[in-house]
Chains A and B, each alone.
Chain A
Amino acid sequence: MATATDLKQTPFYDYHVQHGGKLVEYSGWAMPLHYGSIIEEHHQTRRSGGLFDVSHMGRLRFDGTDAVRFLDTMVTRNVHDMQVGQARYAIVCNEHGGCLDDVLVYRLSDTKCMVVCNAANRAKIVAHVEAIRGDMSFTMKDDTESTAMIAMQGPTVMALLSAFSTSIGELKRYRFIEKKVLLASVMISRTGYTGEDGVEVILPKMLARKAMQMMLANLDSEVPEIQPCGLGSRDSLRLEAGMALYGHEIDETIDPISAGLNFALNLDKPGGFIGQAALQKIAASGPVRTLVGLTLDTRRAARQGMAVKAGDTVVGTVTSGCLSPTLDASIAMALVDTAHAQAGGMLGVDLGRSTVEATVGALPFPWREAKG
C-alpha cells in the first residue's frame, strides 16, 4: 500500500481524521472504511440515514455543440433524448462489449453534460475520450479535484431535505437540480448506490466543509438521523441491493448483458455506440454467463474469485460476497454458466476448506422485505 502522503485527499479528509475514520487506500485516495463499525453504519443507513464521502469518484464535464452526440457514441444509453435535469446510469463499453466503466450521465443543458465515473477508471475514461473523440466539437473538463461529492442515503433523508428545500423534496428519482449557494453551483440528484432513497450532491471544494457541518448538524441531537458512514458499509449496502461494482461484477472482459444490466442498454440506438454490434450479437444468442444472487448455507462470507460448483464441476465464480447485515445471511453475487442461473437452483461455493450449499436467487436480494 502507498503511504498516506502519496494518497489523494478529499475535501473531507480532516473531517474523517477528526471523527475517527479508519482511512484506507482506495484507487489512490485516502478514504474512510468506517468510523467504528461497518455493520453498525450499514444498519444506520437502512434504519435512518448515512452520509458518505464519495469525492473520489470522477466528475467530467462535457461542453460543446457535439457533447451530447459524442456521449451517445461513448455510452450504452441514449443521451440525446434525455431531458435537462435528468440523470441516467449507463455503461462505457469497448468494441467487444466489455465494460470500461459504469457511469452516471447528467444532462445539464442542450450542450452540457456531466459524467460521474469510478475513481479507479477516471484516467482510463479521460484517455478513452481523447482516443475516440475524432473531430467532434466539445471540451472535456475534469472537475474531480475542484469539487466534492457526498451521498446521503436512507429512509429519513428526503424528509429531512424537504424541510430544508421544497424543490429538493419534490425531485423525482434520477432527476437533479442545480442550486446557487454563495455564487457557486451545487448539484443535487436523487440517485444513490445503496438501494435506499436519497441524494448525491456535487459541490465546489470550497463549500465542502460548510456543507458537511450543515448536513451533520443533527449529530447534536440525541438520536442523529444522519451519521457519517464509510466505504465498507457502502459496499455491503450496494451488494444487498444487487448493484454492480466495477472490478467485481463488471470489467473489460464482462459484458453488461451477462451482468444483468440490460436496463442500461439502448441496443437500437440510432447512430450507434461503441460495443453496440457486439452486444446485439450477445443479446441475440443469449449470454454464456449470467450474474446471479447466491444465499449460502453458512455464516462465512464468500469472496471474489471463489469457485461456484454444480457437483464437482466448476460452473462459475463469485464476484462479491459478504455476511449481509440486513438479511443476517451470507450472500454473494456470482457469474455462472447460464444453464445454472435458474432461480431456486442449488449450487456449491468453494470456501477453501469446505464447499457449502448455496441457493440461486434473483437480484436484488430481498433486503426490503427483511427490513419490514
Chain B
Amino acid sequence: MSTDRRFSDSHEWFDIDGDTVTIGLTQYAVNELTDVTYVELRPVGTALSAGDSVGEVESVKTTSDVYSAVAGEIVDVNQGAIDDPAVLNRDAAGEGWLVKIRTDDAGPLGDLLDAAAYEERYPTD
C-alpha cells in the first residue's frame, strides 16, 4: 500500500501519484456494504468539484455514492470493476480501484486521515 494513501470519513481511499489521484473504497466500507453487485462510474472526461460523486457502488444490502475529495477531471475508470463488481470484495485496496482523477490541487487530501488514523477510527476486525 502506498504510504501517501489518504482516507476519508466517507470511506474512500486516495492514492497520489504526481497530479493523478486514484480513488477506491476502503475494505471497511466494503465489509459494511457486503457483496458488491453493481458499479457505476461517471465517464472519462467528467469535470468534478471537490465533494462530487464519481459513481455509485451497490451491494446486496444497499447503494452508496463514492465521492472525490479533490477537484479535477476523470482520466480513467476501472472497467474491470464494472464488469466484475466482486473484485471490490476481493481486493478493495488494489484491483478494486474505481477512478483516476487529474487534479491541479491535491491540497484537500492533506486534511484527510492517514492509514494509521483511519484504521484506528474504523478497525476492520
Contacts and interface: CB of A to CB of B under 8 A. Distances in A.
Interface of A: 22, 33-34, 37-39, 232, 236, 299-301, 303, 322-323
The 5 closest A-B pairs by CB, nearest first: A323-B37, A39-B35, A38-B60, A38-B35, A299-B38
A232 B60 contact: yes
A301 B58 CA distance: 8
B31 interface: yes
Contacts of A303: 63
Given A299-B37, A299-B38, A301-B37, A39 B58 contact: no
Contact of A232 (B31, B34, B40): B34
A322 B37 CA distance: 10
15 contacts: A33-B61, A34-B34, A37-B35, A37-B89, A38-B35, A232-B34, A232-B61, A299-B37, A300-B38, A300-B40, A300-B63, A301-B38, A303-B63, A323-B38, A323-B60
A33 B89 CA distance: 16
B38 A33 contact: no
Contacts of B37: 39, 299, 301, 323
Contacts of A322: 60
A235 to B, nearest CB: 9
Nearest to B31: A22
Contact of B58 (A33, A34, A232, A300): A300
Which secondary structure dominates chain B's binding surface?
mixed
Contacts of B63: 300-301, 303
A300 B38 CA distance: 6
For chain B, give the interface size range: 10 to 19
B35 to A, nearest CB: 5
B38 A236 contact: no
Contacts of A323: 37-38, 60
Contacts of A300: 38, 40, 58, 63
Interface string B17-57: 00000000000000100110110100000000000000000
Q: Report which residue of B38, B40, B61, B63 has the largest number of chain A beta carbons within 10 angstroms of its beta carbon.
A: B61
A22 B31 CA distance: 9
Contacts of B35: 37-39
A232 B60 CA distance: 8
Nearest to B32: A22
A300 B57 CA distance: 10
A306 B35 CA distance: 22
Given A38-B34, A39-B60, 6 more contacts: A37-B34, A299-B37, A299-B38, A300-B40, A301-B60, A323-B38
A209 B89 CA distance: 31
Contacts of A33: 34, 61
A322 B63 CA distance: 11
Nearest to A352: B63
A187 B58 CA distance: 40
Contacts of A22: 31, 34
Nearest to B89: A37
A224 B83 CA distance: 31
Nearest to B35: A39
A323 B61 CA distance: 10
A323 B58 CA distance: 10
Contacts of A301: 37-38, 58, 60, 63
Specify which of B34, B37, B60, B61 lies most central, judged by the most chain A CB atoms within 10 Å of its CB.
B60
A87 B85 CA distance: 42
A47 B40 CA distance: 30
Contacts of B60: 38-39, 232, 236, 301, 322-323
A240 to B, nearest CB: 13
B106 to A, nearest CB: 29
Nearest to A323: B37
A212 to B, nearest CB: 23
A303 B37 CA distance: 14
Nearest to B34: A38
Nearest to A299: B38
A301 B63 CA distance: 9
A299 B63 CA distance: 13
Contacts of A38: 34-35, 60-61
Interface string B61-82: 1010000000000000000000
A39 B34 CA distance: 9
Which of B31, B35, B40, B89 is packed against the most chain A CB atoms within 10 Å? B35
Nearest to A322: B60
Contacts of B40: 300
